[in-house]
């Protein structure tokens, strides 16, 4: 049976799930989205993702034509209609159709789209051996131009940095902010462990505050691991004992080198493994 996609209150076969070519989400990347994991048929941290979706929409003056509770219901219905047990949800809100111009007053009918499908994950070998990173020359969007806290449909900034990573043979790339500080990777947040302290760039570094990032911070605090959200530069990563990334798809993935320089002993470290195990317990069948 064909996958079914939720669009504006209807579950349609994916072949019929279409939006107008005049939609400003397509024309200008004018919209917001969330990526959410499904474990054992349960949508993981759904309320947190929906709350961030509405915050992103509010920041770009996009009014979502349904309540957060109705959105949660729509997501759960779409997951159930597709029989997804282990998978991924892409929740998209676009500005709606309008003219060939930037004036949002000339748009109408914001589109609410929910896609539930399987997901391609990092292979098991990556979790065993760790990722290698390179630093992209493409910097993270300046927060005074476009707040990185808005999860918008325009991901060109991240895509250009990811191209640099894949050209260098790496699955991910590190992005710095306009001050040369560590921000995040193209699709994941970054953490280091130094002398037993877990450190990650703070929100004012120009990052998207990841839902998985925040879950890991909470797990670390509950486990008695000292936590610091602080400014970081590449030097801090070079001299760290461990490093890992967090993200909806990645969960917690170890990093073993940056720009050809090994981090710690060049292997995934014990605290990374501990946090991954704690995170996996969160996602286990209730």
Instruction: Categorize the per-residue pLDDT at 83 as very low, low, confident or very high, splitting at 50, 70 and 90.
Output: very high
Q: What is the 3-state secondary structure (H, E, C) of 135-181?
A: ECCCCCCCCCCCCCCCCECCCHHHHHHHHHHHHCCCCEEEEECCCCC
What is the CATH classification number for the domain harbouring 136? 3.20.10.10
Instruction: Categorize the per-residue pLDDT at 1 as very low, low, confident or very high, splitting at 50, 70 and 90.
Output: low
Position 121 scores a pLDDT of 81
Active site annotation includes 179: no
What is the CATH classification number for the domain harbouring 43? 3.30.470.10
CA-to-CA separations, 108 to 23, 27, 52, 153, 161, in angstroms, rounded = 9, 14, 23, 18, 33
pLDDT at residue 280 tops 60: yes
Is there a single domain that holds both residue 195 and residue 270? yes
What pLDDT, in 10s, does the model give residues 20-43?
999 999 999 999 999 999 999 999
Is there a single domain that holds both residue 254 and residue 131? yes
pLDDT at residue 122 tops 60: yes
Position 159 scores a pLDDT of 97
Instruction: Categorize the per-residue pLDDT at 98 as very low, low, confident or very high, splitting at 50, 70 and 90.
Output: very high
Mean per-residue pLDDT for 61-66? 97
Mean per-residue pLDDT for 52-75? 97
Quote the mean pLDDT of the chain: 95
Is there a single domain that holds both residue 128 and residue 100? no
Which one of 68, 90, 117 terminates a domain? 117
Is there a single domain that holds both residue 146 and residue 11? no
Mean per-residue pLDDT for 178-189? 97
- Domain hosting residue 10, numbered range: 4-117
The DSSP string of 60-126 is: TT---SS-HHHHHHHHHHHHHHTT-SSEEEEEEEE--B--SSS-GGG-B--EEEEEEE--PPPPHHH
Q: Kindly name the residue from 125, 132, 151, 267 that is annotated as catalytic.
A: 151
Position 120 scores a pLDDT of 80
Which one of 58, 84, 117 terminates a domain? 117
45-64 burial code (b ≥16 CB/10 A, e <16): bbeebbebbbebbeebebeb
Query: Do 152 and 29 meet the contact criterion of CB atoms below 8 Å apart?
Result: yes
Is there a single domain that holds both residue 168 and residue 261? yes
- What domain count does the chain have? 2
Is there a single domain that holds both residue 54 and residue 177? no
Residue positions counted in the chain: 286
Instruction: Categorize the per-residue pLDDT at 187 as very low, low, confident or very high, splitting at 50, 70 and 90.
Output: very high
Q: Identify the bridge partners of residue 29 per DSSP, sorted by sequence position.
A: none
pLDDT at residue 158 tops 80: yes
pTM of the full structure: 0.94
Q: Which two tokens stand for residue 254?
A: 């170890």
Side-chain-side CA neighbours of residue 94 (13 Å): 24
Nearest-angstrom CA–CA distance, 116 and 17 = 13
The label of the residue with tokens 């290698």 reads 132
Position 194 scores a pLDDT of 97
């Amino acid at each position: 049976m064909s996958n079914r996609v939720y669009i504006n209150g209807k579950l349609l076969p994916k072949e019929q799930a279409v939006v107008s070519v005049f939609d400003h989400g397509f024309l200008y990347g004018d919209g917001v989205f969330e990526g959410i994991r499904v474990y054992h048929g349960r949508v993981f941290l759904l309320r947190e993702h929906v709350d961030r979706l509405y915050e992103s929409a509010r920041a770009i003056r996009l009014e979502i034509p349904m309540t957060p509770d109705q959105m949660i219901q729509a997501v759960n219905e779409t997951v159930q209609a597709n029989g997804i047990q282990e998978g991924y949800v892409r929740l998209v809100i676009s500005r709606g159709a309008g003219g060939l111009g930037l004036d949002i007053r000339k748009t109408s009918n914001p589109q609410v789209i929910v896609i539930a499908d399987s997901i391609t994950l990092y292979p098991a070998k990556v979790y065993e051996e760790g990722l290698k990173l390179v630093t992209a020359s493409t910097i993270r969007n300046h927060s005074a131009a476009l707040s990185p806290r808005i999860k918008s449909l325009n991901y060109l900034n991240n895509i250009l940095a990811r191209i640099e990573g894949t050209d260098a043979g790496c699955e991910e790339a590190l992005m710095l902010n306009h001050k040369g500080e560590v921000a995040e990777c193209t699709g994941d947040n970054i953490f280091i462990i130094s002398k037993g302290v877990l450190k990650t760039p703070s929100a004012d570094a120009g990052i998207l505050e990841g839902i998985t990032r925040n879950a890991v911070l909470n797990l670390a605090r509950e486990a008695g691991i000292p936590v610091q959200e602080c400014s970081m530069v590449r030097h801090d990563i070079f001299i760290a004992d461990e490093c890992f990334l967090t993200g909806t798809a990645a969960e917690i993935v170890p990093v073993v080198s940056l720009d050809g320089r090994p981090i710690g002993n060049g292997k995934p470290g014990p605290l990374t493994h501990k946090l991954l195990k704690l995170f996996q317990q969160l996602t286990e069948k209730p």
